[in-house]
Amino acid sequence: MNAIKTLLRDCQYKFREKGSLFISQGFPIATIESAEEILEQTRKKYFDATHNCYAFKTADGNFRYSDDGEPNGTAGIRIYNAINHFDLTNIIVIVTRYFGGVKLGVGPLGKAYYHAAFEMLKNSEIKELTLYLRTSLKYDYKHSSSVHHFLSKYEAQIEDNLYTTVPEIIFAVPASNYELLKTDLESHFPPQNSGIRPVDLSEKTEKIFK
């Protein structure tokens, strides 16, 4: 997965069904922790609601959904299905319900939760994020110009420069370009007699989306 689609910004949608008020909210997230924080804030905001049902999905494969007291299978999975319909990731959708005094029945209730999530997402602004690998490299000062040339060639985004005994660059490069960059650096900067490369790319990487 070298790219994902997610929400550009927070969004909301409201509608009523037989007296019950459904408030659907969508938020872009990056981690499970950020999803849980948003969920807790929503529960506090709508503390008097009958239910706060939700579904979230992150790019690392984690997902969760909850009916929050509604009949099993009528809310969380319906919200999650709406998220998947639009092929979205790094997102949490929460549908808050204020019961209006009339029971909808299992079938209509499931449709109401799906409708709440679907209509909100259908009218939201979507953005595409690219998978980057964050890593670093150390280099000999005399190769500074060449190092920056290769980083630019493979669309790396420099995040920090560290100047100690040996200069080091922290950067993020599109995942699709990482192996190409690595191969080029290894080809142009072979190990010295000491076995140390004058330009040394770290083997540690961190996946991020930008």
pTM (two decimals): 0.86
CATH number of the domain bearing residue 58: 3.30.230.30
pLDDT per position as a tens digit, 138-190:
999 999 999 999 999 999 999 999 988 899 999 999 999 999 999 999 999 99
Supply the range of the domain harboring residue 182.
128-209
- Residue-wise pLDDT for 98-150, tens only, equals 999 999 999 999 999 999 999 999 999 999 999 999 999 999 999 999 999 99
Tokens 């992150």 — which residue? 58
**Cα–Cα distance between 97 and 52 in angstroms, integer?**
7
- How many domains does the chain fold into? 2
Question: How confident is the model over 8-65, as pLDDT tens digits?
Answer: 999 999 999 999 999 999 999 999 999 999 999 999 999 999 999 999 999 999 999 9
Confidence (pLDDT) at 66: 98
Q: Tell me: do 110 and 41 sit in the same domain.
A: yes
Of the three residues 61, 94, 124, the one that is the final residue of a domain is: 124
pLDDT on residue 196: 80
